[in-house]
Structure 1
Amino acid sequence: MTFLYSLTNLKARIIMAYSLNSNYLWRIEFMNERKLHYLLLVAFSLSNKMIIEQTNREKLMPGQPKILEFLLGHDGCTQKEIAKACILDKSTVTSLITRMLLCGLVRKDSDLPDRRTNCIYLTEEGRNMAERVREICDVVDDTGWRGISKEERDDFCRIFEKIIQNLEEGEEKSYGTKTS
């Protein structure tokens, strides 16, 4: 029992050390690298790190880039819609939107019949920044897809969409409702 605990504890420390302060991905032999959750963790961590490094240079906080990119295609949506699409808590979206309002990246209008609900729109500066975010994400995507054929990409996307569907269905069974 102690041995299992120490392995779990070591794994948590290794992942934490990587995510907090390391430029190198430490792969330990006892961590099965073919496990889905581990592969997802590694892929997300690496791509997110690349995106954050670039968007920090643009003075964006984590979370703001995905909101900007979403608004680029869905200008005028509600904060609730942003939270659902960007997989963020409503309180997190409220905080990020407040900062984005202060920076002049977005504006809020109560366009809907229900004046209690606000629509969020990109400003000109916000639209320019959203385009820059899209360019950054395209470079990260291109890096990830390097050496992978169109057919392999299509297969991967089809399989990955099925994995997402399976996980959403599993979430429904576990919690009784879908969180998204």
Structure 2
Amino acid sequence: MENRRDEVTRAAQRLHEMSMLRRIILQKVTQGMDLYFGQLRVVEYIAGHDGCTQAEVAQSMMVTPASMALTAKRLEKAGLLQREVDESSQRCKRLSVTPRGHDLAARCRDFHDEFDQRTFEGFSEEELAALNAFLGRMICNITGEPYPPQDGFVPIGQLEARLRESRREREERKRT
């Protein structure tokens, strides 16, 4: 039993180390590009959902609307994003990526893709498939979804709601 606990702890530490290394290295390579770590996901989401609202992006990124408003303001100031007031609702802001934003996001994406290729260098297709299956199962363990999921993996924006529901169900089972 103690061995399993130790292995779980080591695996969790490795996942954390990987996440931190990825963040540190990618921050260094993209330094001075006006697009900071975490903002690439935002710009890519908006590019794929042109005209979306700040609230939609906030929900998808699992951040508060206030946090997304600040991020959008910074991206707009850097010339990467355009915010326009929605004609039907003056409180609503519609977002789109500027040509400069598209260019910068593409360059940053290239660095990210290169890093990912380097990370998995030497892994066979079978090993990558096994790793993806393990990670998928871990996501299902966290969200409470059956494995393998029936309709694909949970989009990140829905993860928070699923986690709350899963927690609520566990608490219900404990009471009964």
TM-score of the pair, normalised by structure 2: 0.70
**Residue pair 1:108, 1:118 contacting (<8 A) in 2 also:** yes
Counterpart residue number, 1:82: 57
TM-score, with normalisation over the residues of structure 1? 0.69
**1:142 and 2:117 matched:** yes
Superposition pairs of residues 43-58 of structure 1, within 5 angstroms: 43-58=18-33
Task: Write the distance in 2 (CA, Å) between the matches of 1:34 and 1:57.
Answer: 38
Q: Give 1:97 shift.
A: 0.9
Q: Give the Cα–Cα distance (whole angstroms) in 2 for the partners of residues 61 and 157 of structure 1.
A: 27
Look up the equivalent residue of 1:67 and give its one-letter code.
V
CA contact (8 A) 2:47 2:102 kept: yes
Please give the secondary structure, in 2, of the residue aligned with 1:56: coil
- Alpha carbons of structure 1 residues 153 and 76: separation in structure 2 relative to 1, 3 Å: farther
For residue 171 of structure 1, the aligned residue among 159, 163, 166 is 163
| Cα distance, 1:141 vs structure 2 | 0.9
Runs of 4+ residues over 6 Å off in structure 1: none
- Is residue 65 of structure 1 aligned with residue 40 of structure 2? yes
Distance 1:175 1:129 in 2: 42
Alpha-carbon spacing, 1:134–1:91, altered in 2? closer, same or farther (3 Å): same
Q: Residue 77 of structure 2 aligns to which amino acid in structure 1?
A: L
The alpha-carbon distance between structure 1 residues 67 and 45, as it changes in their structure 2 partners (threshold 3 A), is: same
Cα distance in 2, alignment partners of residues 94 and 37 from structure 1: 33
Of the two structures, which has the highest relative contact order with CA contacts closer than 8 Å and spacing of 6 or more? 2
Structure 2 CA distance for aligned equivalents of residues 137 and 87 of structure 1: 21
Alpha-carbon distance, 1:107 to partner: 0.4
In 1: Cα distance, 2:27 partner to 2:62 partner: 17
Do 1:63 and 1:96's aligned partners in 2 also have CA atoms closer than 8 Å?
A: no
What does residue 131 of structure 1 align with?
106
Shift of 1:143: 1.5
RMSD (Å), alpha carbons: 2.5
* Pair 130,163 (structure 1): closer, same or farther in 2 beyond 3 Å: same
Query: Partner letter of residue 96 of structure 1?
Result: T
Instruction: Structure 1: state its 5+ residue gaps.
Output: 1-31
Please give the residue correspondences for 1:20-31 in structure 2 after superposition, counting only pairs within 5 Å. none
Q: 1:103 to 1:37 in 2, by over 3 A?
A: same
Give per-residue Cα distances to partners, 1:2-50, cap 9 Å, x unaligned: xxxxxxxxxxxxxxxxxxxxxxxxxxxxxx5653432221111011112
Q: CA 1:108–1:171 in structure 2 vs 1: closer, same or farther (change >3 Å)? A: same
Q: Share of identical aligned residues, percent?
A: 24
Partners of 2:34 and 2:78 within 8 A in 1: no
CA distance in 1, matches of 2:137, 2:56: 23
